[in-house]
């Protein structure tokens, strides 16, 4: 009798698992047992929101995935704590830091952050004549160093014939930086994402931004060596859910309205000042690729932007940032070679996920 009951119980469990698999939002197969996914979460950033939406809408739960967040406001700090997360979303400079110091791998490209912006006070000489190099000399610029904001600021200074040596750069995270700027500190403020729109709505003048300058400030999805080695199925599920969630957001006005609502909620949870208007604007310019594009970015081959060999399109996008930092002495040609030699921009996850997505008929 016990054997019969055991067999029946096994059948019930198998049928339940099959039913759950058929009932998942994206048709993905749930993990056999509940597993925790630790996410390095970029507070206030549009490119973190697909994780949060997937969590709040139950997309992760139906796959037997429990989400825990490790929140950060800049990439270098996130990488210093890479032992605390499995996957993350982070700007290119943060990814480069993680590659150099912790062998973190880029497994996806998720955005080109055009809203990486430079602000001045409306009554300042810079606001009146931003292209005049003389008004910039000796000014204090507030920004988180080693990030896309430093890339953006230095690129703007170069465009008007200056270098980083012509200004004073004060290292401060974006939320603290905005508060300090509101309180009269500094002459120039560099902030991104929802915080940039907050600065704009506070009356500060947008001098320029990455989009206006035509910069490629790619943002990435990364995974730790431990997660890739020991949690492969979990990482693959997370990769697919991220891109599929953003595709879901774009399926209807109702879904996008829900995405905006959850973005506001996330900012409130993270202590980032952002209203519906700010979050709506941030998501409107969020350049997350489709699942098919995400696969192609990591697996197609193009000529390396330095003309030597072939790399993935995502590698070239990241290397636009890296090559700039090499030109100003923050990285070396050896660092570049090591990234290629170690395969730290890796298409392994995208390749596996492509097979699943093809089977499900999501991509061709």
- Domains belonging to the chain, first-starting first, are 35-112+219-359 (3.40.190.10), 116-213 (3.40.190.10)
Mean pLDDT of 135-159: 96
Structure tokens at 169: 């750069």
Mean pLDDT of 170-194: 96
Percent of the chain with pLDDT over 70: 94
Parallel, antiparallel or unpaired: strands 140-143 and 310-311:
unpaired
Q: What is the pLDDT of residues 296-320, one digit of tens each?
A: 999 999 999 988 899 999 999 999 9
Contact yes or no for 92/216 (Cβ under 8 A): no
- pLDDT interval class at 5 (50, 70, 90): very low
- Identify the pLDDT of residue 10: 36
Range in 213-217, 238-242, 340-344 with the lowest mean pLDDT: 213-217
Percent of the chain with pLDDT over 90: 91
In 10 A of CB 202, how many CB atoms? 13
Q: Tell me the Ramachandran region of residue 68: left when phi exceeds 0, alpha when psi lies from -120 to 50, beta otherwise.
A: beta
Structure tokens at 149: 């904001």
What lies within 8 Å, CB to CB, of 239 at 6+ separation is 87, 107, 108, 221, 349, 350, 353
- Identify the pLDDT of residue 1: 37
Q: What is the pLDDT of residues 7-17, one digit of tens each?
A: 333 333 333 44
Please say if the pLDDT value at position 6 is more than 70.
no
Mean predicted lDDT score pLDDT of the chain = 93
Backbone φ and ψ for 41, nearest 5 degrees, come out as: -110, 130
- Identify the pLDDT of residue 22: 53
Q: What is the pLDDT of residues 246-286, one digit of tens each?
A: 999 999 999 999 999 999 999 999 999 899 999 999 999 99
pTM of the predicted structure, to 2 decimals: 0.89
Contact yes or no for 90/42 (Cβ under 8 A): yes
Mean pLDDT of 80-103: 97
- For residues 313 and 297, give the distance between their C-alpha atoms in angstroms, rounded to a whole number: 5
Any idea what the Cα angle at residue 251 is, between residues 282 and 313, rounded to 5°?
65
- Nearest Cα to Cα of residue 135 among 209, 214, 207, 215: 207
What lies within 8 Å, CB to CB, of 4 at 6+ separation is none
């Amino acid at each position: 009798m016990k054997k019969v009951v055991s067999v029946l119980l096994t059948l019930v469990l198998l049928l339940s698992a099959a039913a759950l698999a058929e009932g998942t939002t994206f048709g993905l197969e749930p993990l056999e047992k509940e597993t925790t996914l630790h996410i390095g979460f970029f507070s206030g950033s549009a490119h973190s929101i697909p994780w949060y939406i997937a969590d709040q809408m139950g997309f992760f739960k139906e796959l037997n995935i429990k989400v825990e967040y490790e929140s950060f406001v800049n990439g270098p700090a996130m990488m210093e704590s890479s032992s605390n997360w499995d996957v993350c979303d982070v700007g290119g400079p943060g990814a480069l830091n993680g590659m150099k110091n912790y062998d973190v791998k880029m497994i996806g490209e998720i955005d080109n952050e055009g809203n990486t912006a430079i602000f001045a006070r409306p009554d300042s000489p810079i606001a009146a004549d931003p292209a005049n190099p003389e008004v910039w000399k000796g000014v204090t610029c507030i920004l988180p160093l080693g990030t896309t904001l430093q890339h953006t600021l230095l690129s703007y200074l170069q465009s008007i014939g200056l270098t980083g040596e012509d200004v004073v750069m004060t290292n401060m995270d974006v939320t603290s930086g905005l508060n300090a700027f509101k309180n009269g500190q500094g002459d120039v403020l560099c902030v991104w994402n929802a915080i940039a729109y907050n600065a704009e709505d506070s009356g500060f003048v947008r001098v320029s931004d990455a989009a206006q300058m035509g910069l490629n400030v790619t943002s990435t999805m990364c995974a730790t060596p431990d997660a890739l080695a020991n949690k492969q199925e979990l990482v693959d599920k997370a990769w697919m859910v991220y891109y599929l969630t953003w595709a879901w957001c774009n399926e209807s006005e109702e879904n996008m309205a829900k995405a905006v609502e959850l973005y506001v909620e996330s900012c409130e949870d993270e202590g980032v000042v952002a209203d519906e208007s700010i979050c709506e604007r941030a998501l409107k310019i969020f350049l997350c690729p489709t699942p098919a594009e995400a696969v192609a970015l990591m697996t197609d081959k193009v000529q390396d932007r330095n003309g030597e060999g072939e790399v993935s399109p995502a590698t070239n996008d990241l290397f636009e940032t890296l090559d700039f930092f090499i030109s100003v002495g923050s990285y070396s040609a050896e660092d570049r070679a090591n990234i290629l030699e170690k395969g730290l921009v890796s298409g392994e996850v995208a390749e596996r996920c492509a097979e699943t997505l093809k089977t499900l008929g999501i991509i061709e």
